Amino acid sequence: MKENNEPIEVSIIGGGFSGLYLAILLKMKGITCEIFTSGTGASQFWVGTVDFLDYRQNRDLERSFKEFQKEVPHHPYSFFPFSKIERSFTYFFSQFPDFKMFTENEKLINRPVLTSLGNLKPCIGIWHSIFHEFQYLTKESTVILVDFSEFFNDVMYLVAKNLHDTFACSYRILNLSFKTIFDLIGENGDEISIKDKLSEYRIASFFDTHSSMATISILGNYIKKEIIKQFPKLDMKHVDFILFPPILGLKTEKKIIEELSKLLNLKCKELVALSPSLISKRFDSELNEKIKSLDIPLHKNYTFIDFNKDANSKMWWKLKFMNKKGDLCNIHSKCVVFAVGTLFQEGPFANVEDFKEIFNKNLLSIPISKISPSYELTFHNGQGSNIFVAGSALFSFIESITEEDEIKYGTGLGLSILTSTQIAEELNRLK
């Protein structure tokens, strides 16, 4: 990257879901921005749901939210009026049709999904393919859960046990083998494995490149045959669902699942993933494609290490980055958004003392007792700084939020969506 003295309108530090979604929102409002990101974030572990107040089973979200605002007034959520929350989520879901939003009478609601540990977790939306149709389960139902013998990262027995304990339905674990599937399709499994082990990512890519109808029907026939072989006495009339681990492709899972459902005459669904998850890869690549098509510059392997007021213009910020090779480079920017998450923070954020130091020397005190409703940091004198904080990174900036609160009160995609929406509107207003 070339050093440039022309300032960027908005620089976004951190390319997790918060940073990427914000960039998309800004670009759609005609605000130019660039993203700088160092590497992995919590977004690479995301398992497929959109959480918002996930500790509340209560379906009436508006009421829950009012209680929440009183209970945890410093939480970054607490500044939103509920109507705005609904608007932000509805807009997000309209932009990404691969998600399914949970509503009732056109109101946003929490609904349970099965997590990777078999627990039920309330959330406001999911990646489209995830199983959530619990209302169809009765004592008479049977669910088939697919356990691929070479895929180590699934937890079908745990999930099955809770389905049984909670809904009294029966279950069967269907053992399938990728090796057999490769043989049937005429592929060499060796290329998909690393050190004798099948790589999840490569399995998913395999399905992406083999999603022709012919291949799907081979898969369907194999499953049919194995069901008869393994459960000769099972009455298919009682089977309601067949649940897969989420590895049937990174791009084509929709098609594969639809076609399999038709072929098997059973509803096929995926379970929420385990971490690091393939579902997160799907959403991440969808976001990245959008970023690309919108021509937003995304600088990977750039770690933010320091910033100063720009000497040329008191209005601008000068940001210092280090790339993978250790080279330094400076960027000038009018506005800065930190979307560095809380789990994989690099540079000064990795150490509390460094973190405090670089902000305090710029007359911004960190951590703050309360953030402004637009998520903008203010100078000691109370003036706006043109520096914003988005997504889960907020938890590192706000003093009174503990790690327990962070996990308990629903940090998640919900927070990314809401804060990015708010910041985009604020920046639009400032423009």
Partner 1 sequence: MKETKYDCIIVGGGITGVGIARDLSLRGLKLLLVEKNDLSEGTTGRCHAMLHSGARYVYKDKEAALECAQENKILLTIAPHITEPCGGYFIAVNSEDMDYGDIFRTECEIAGVWCEEINPQTFLSKEPNCNPHTIRVFKVNDGYIDPFLLTYYNAYDAQLHGATIKAYTKAERLLLDGDTIIGIECFNVLTKRRNKYYTDIIINATGPWSSYLEKDLSLSHPLKIAPTMGTLVVVKDRLVNGLINRLRPPGDGDIIVPSHNSVIVGTTSIPVEYEQLDTLRTTPDEIDYILTQGEYLVPTLKKHRIIRFYSGARPLIDSGASLREASRRFDIIDYEKEGYSGFLTIIGGKLTTYRLMAKEISDLVVSYLDIDAQCSTADQPLPGGDRLINKERFEEILKVDKKTAFDMQFKWGTFYKEIFEMCERCMDPFSEPNIPQKICECENVTEPELSWVRERLAIKVLDDYRRRTRQGMGPCQGIFCYYKLANLEAKHTEKTHAQIMNELKIALQKRWKIQYAADDVLKRQIKLSKYIYLLGGHLK
Ligand X SMILES: Cc1cc2nc3c(=O)[nH]c(=O)nc-3n(C[C@H](O)[C@H](O)[C@H](O)COP(=O)(O)OP(=O)(O)OC[C@H]3O[C@@H](n4cnc5c(N)ncnc54)[C@H](O)[C@@H]3O)c2cc1C
Tell me how far, at minimum, the Cβ of 181 lies from partner 1, in Å.
12
72 binds partner 1 (CB under 8 A): no
173 binds ligand X (CB under 6 A): no
359 binds ligand X (CB under 6 A): no
Q: 408 with 7: CB under 8 angstroms?
A: no
Half-sphere exposure of 262 (CA within 13 A, CB side): 8
Total chain residues near partner 1 (CB under 8 A): 48
User: What pairing do the DSSP bridges indicate for beta strands 298-300 and 120-123?
Assistant: unpaired
Given 411, 421, 422, 424, the residue binding ligand X (CB under 6 A): 411
- Total number of residues shown for the chain: 431
Instruction: Kindly state the helix (H) or strand (E) to which residue 12 belongs, with its residue range.
Output: strand 4-13
Tokens 């090779």 belong to 325
Nearer to partner 1, 78 or 119 (CB): 119
Q: Look at residue 339 and give the partner it binds from ligand X, partner 1, none, a contact being a CB closer than 5 to 8 Å depending on partner kind.
A: ligand X
Nearer to partner 1, 7 or 341 (CB): 341
Q: Look at residue 391 and give the partner it binds from partner 1, ligand X, none, a contact being a CB closer than 5 to 8 Å depending on partner kind.
A: ligand X
Phi and psi at residue 78, in whole multiples of 5°? Answer: -65, -10
Q: Look at residue 386 and give the partner it binds from partner 1, ligand X, none, a contact being a CB closer than 5 to 8 Å depending on partner kind.
A: none
40 binds ligand X (CB under 6 A): yes
Q: Look at residue 14 and give the partner it binds from ligand X, partner 1, none, a contact being a CB closer than 5 to 8 Å depending on partner kind.
A: ligand X
Contact stretch for ligand X (CB under 6 A) within 3-11, 211-219, 258-266, 344-352:
344-352
213 binds partner 1 (CB under 8 A): no
Distance CA 57, CA 302 (A): 40
Q: 74 with 396: CB under 8 angstroms?
A: no
165 binds partner 1 (CB under 8 A): yes
Nearer to ligand X, 7 or 347 (CB): 347
Distance CA 274, CA 245 (A): 9
422 binds ligand X (CB under 6 A): no
Nearer to partner 1, 175 or 285 (CB): 175
In single-letter form, the type of residue at position 428 comes to N
Q: 337 with 10: CB under 8 angstroms?
A: yes
Nearer to partner 1, 276 or 384 (CB): 276
34 binds partner 1 (CB under 8 A): no
Strand intervals (E) in 232-316: 239-244, 267-270, 298-300, 302-309
Contact stretch for ligand X (CB under 6 A) within 69-77, 285-293, 324-332, 345-353:
345-353
Residue 31: DSSP 8-state: -
Q: Look at residue 333 and give the partner it binds from partner 1, ligand X, none, a contact being a CB closer than 5 to 8 Å depending on partner kind.
A: none
Phi and psi at residue 101, in whole multiples of 5°? Answer: -100, 140
DSSP string covering 334-351 = EEEEE---SSS--GGGGS
158 binds partner 1 (CB under 8 A): yes
Of residues 95-124, which lie at the interface with partner 1 (CB under 8 A)?
A: 115-121
Distance CA 388, CA 384 (A): 10
Of residues 223-282, which lie at the interface with partner 1 (CB under 8 A)?
A: 226, 229-230, 274-275
Of residues 178-207, which lie at the interface with partner 1 (CB under 8 A)?
A: 179, 195-196
Binding mask 103-122 for ligand X (x = CB under 6 A): --------------------
Tell me how far, at minimum, the Cβ of 340 lies from ligand X, in Å.
4
Distance CA 41, CA 54 (A): 21
Contact stretch for ligand X (CB under 6 A) within 38-46, 67-75, 99-107, 186-194:
38-46
Give the largest CA-CA distance in the chain.
80
Instruction: Kindly state the helix (H) or strand (E) to which residue 172 belongs, with its residue range.
Output: strand 170-176
351 binds partner 1 (CB under 8 A): yes
Distance CA 57, CA 49 (A): 15
Instruction: Kindly state the helix (H) or strand (E) to which residue 250 belongs, with its residue range.
Output: none
Of residues 273-312, which lie at the interface with ligand X (CB under 6 A)?
A: 275, 303-304
Q: Look at residue 157 and give the partner it binds from ligand X, partner 1, none, a contact being a CB closer than 5 to 8 Å depending on partner kind.
A: partner 1
Query: Which residues touch 86 (CB under 8 Å, ≥6 apart)?
Result: 107, 108
Distance CA 233, CA 241 (A): 17
User: What pairing do the DSSP bridges indicate for beta strands 298-300 and 193-194?
Assistant: unpaired
Tell me how far, at minimum, the Cβ of 123 lies from ligand X, in Å.
6
Tokens 């006495």 belong to 233
Given 156, 335, 339, 364, the residue binding partner 1 (CB under 8 A): 156
Residues that bind ligand X (CB under 6 A): 13-19, 36-43, 45-51, 275, 303-304, 339-341, 343-347, 349, 391-393, 411-414, 416
